[in-house]
Amino acid sequence: MKLTLHTVRICALIGLALLGNKSSADARPALQPAWARLTLPNGMTAWHRQLPAARTISIRVCVPSAAGLQPSAPANDRLLFSLLGTAGEEYPRTRLDRIRDEGALEITGTSGQVFSSLSVSAIANRAQEAAKILASLLYKPARDGQLFAELRTRAVNELRWRNGNAWSALDPQLMQRIYGGQVEGQFYGLSDSALAATRLEDVLEHHRTILALAETFLVSCGPLSAREMQAILAQNFTRPRLGPEPYRPLREPFPAATNAVHLFPHQAASSVWVKGVSAAPRPGSPDYPAFVLTARIWSEMLMDSVRSRAGLVYSIWASSPSRQRHASAEFVLYRCQDVPRAITLAEESLRALRAGTAVLPTPDGQVRQQSIDDVLPAMKNQLLASIALQNITPAERTASFAAWLLASGSAAAFDILPEAIRSVTADAIRQTARRYFQAMHWGVTLSPAAVSNAPALRWNP
């Protein structure tokens, strides 16, 4: 995880088409859909975004999180996509490594909380080759027992490292405490013993299962037109025959009816980590643009009051992930020196935001109370710029669009998000601050000795 000292990152799991220019709404032409939906002869859905000036192309096959299929699915999913991104029957590891070394193609397999994916990125004139490699890896995974054992050992060691790290252990413990049971995702529901016991035969059977999922889809981005891309994809992705029904995201409410502060002792906790989680609107919903902006402003206020002035933490960042079962806002205080004081300052800043006041530093280095109306234009520009920087390359665009589509189910909302952010009013910020963040779960990871001396903590904004 990359940490920065002065930056609050809003990783909204969203991608943008083009942010547009700064001209007035009247001067802007009518927005055309940026992502074209294609249907391949085998019934598979594909989404393509043409970027005429792009020098690379990215093709990604996406499978919604398979963690709910069966108890062993998280381990199988983790190992399968590691295997798919490493080698295939037609593309042994040595051959793929040689292709990577040429610098013309990049191949990645990832298993995640919302979806797992296998992607190939290439220079633009090798789109046909990229699609051929991706289809071959997807349909014909390697059956090399020695390679599988190596990947399994690496996965087990990575999980043990995460569980042995105080910060990495905080998120799954907090999610499990909130839900009272197993949580879907890359590392939720996984154990090192389950990974170590997984056989190659189990993973190959899991592979046959996910190939039959009707929700599997393709996302591509690059200089080719939708028609050209459809022809390439249709030539390479010929099986299995999938049903036409699109993926429908689950919409269970976030279980945060009451406030709670959870303490998690950890032997390796040399410093204190604090993480607050609240419900959030789904990407694509009417409340989402105002919510992202509100979270941005509150994060900046926390950065100023909790870190810069009080010096209570080393760094702060925020995110709005959309897990398969819920959307949430997460505020992380890294290396917190005084947890009660930090939570109190967070409560105070949220109350000020609800009242329509943002306490932020000014360009001259002073700190003063400013109305939401005064800070909103700059915050909008910062948010739009940060989103744009996360979606520069075709590979970044395919990843963010896939995450958005699975979280919201709406490609149209993806295209209009920039204008929706520009249209958020100060009153919407105030209403959002009053509606959200009232009920939160806070998790605190600290050493066992510190737990026994920890004061009673509560969240009462």
The pTM assigned to this predicted structure is 0.80
Is 10-14+250-452's fold the same as 44-236's?
Answer: yes
Cβ atoms within 10 Å, residue 324 = 20
Cα distances (Å, whole numbers) of residue 234 to 45, 52, 58, 117, 238: 11, 21, 16, 19, 6
Which residue, among 199, 171, 448, has the nearest Cα to 332 in the 3D structure?
171
Pairing of strands 217-222, 357-361: unpaired
Q: Looking at residue 329, what is its pLDDT?
A: 64
Nearest to 322 by CA among 389, 393, 410, 391: 410
**Per-residue pLDDT at 258:** 65
Out of 3.40.640.10, 2.60.40.60, 3.30.830.10, 1.10.3470.10, which CATH number does the structure's domain 10-14+250-452 have?
3.30.830.10
User: What local confidence, expressed as pLDDT, does residue 255 receive?
Assistant: 60
Q: What are phi and psi of 270, to 5 degrees?
A: -85, -20
Which pLDDT score is estimated for 387?
Answer: 81
Residues 401-434, buried b or exposed e (16+ Cβ, 10 A)? bbbbbbbbbbbebbbbbbeebbebeeebbbebbe
The continuous run of DSSP H or E covering 333 comes out as: strand 328-334
Write out the chain's pLDDT in tens, 461 residues: 333 323 333 333 333 332 333 333 333 333 345 899 999 998 889 999 999 999 999 999 998 765 445 545 778 888 999 999 999 999 999 998 888 888 778 999 888 766 789 999 999 999 999 999 999 999 999 999 999 999 999 999 988 887 777 777 787 788 777 766 544 433 455 678 888 999 999 999 888 877 777 778 999 999 999 999 999 999 999 876 555 444 444 445 566 556 788 888 887 777 788 888 887 888 888 888 999 899 888 888 887 777 777 777 767 766 665 554 455 666 777 777 788 888 888 888 888 888 888 877 666 666 678 889 988 998 999 889 888 887 888 999 999 898 888 777 778 788 788 899 999 999 999 999 888 887 788 888 888 877 777 777 888 87
Q: What strand order describes the sheet that includes 440-446?
A: 10-11, 315-319, 328-334, 273-279, 440-446, 260-265
- Domain residue ranges of the chain, discontinuous segments joined by +: 10-14+250-452, 44-236
CA dihedral for 68, 74, 77, 78, sign (positive or negative): positive
- Report which secondary-structure segment, H or E, holds 145: helix 145-164
pLDDT at 2: 33
Tokens of 402: 């896939």
CATH architecture of residue range(s) 44-236: 2-Layer Sandwich (3.30)
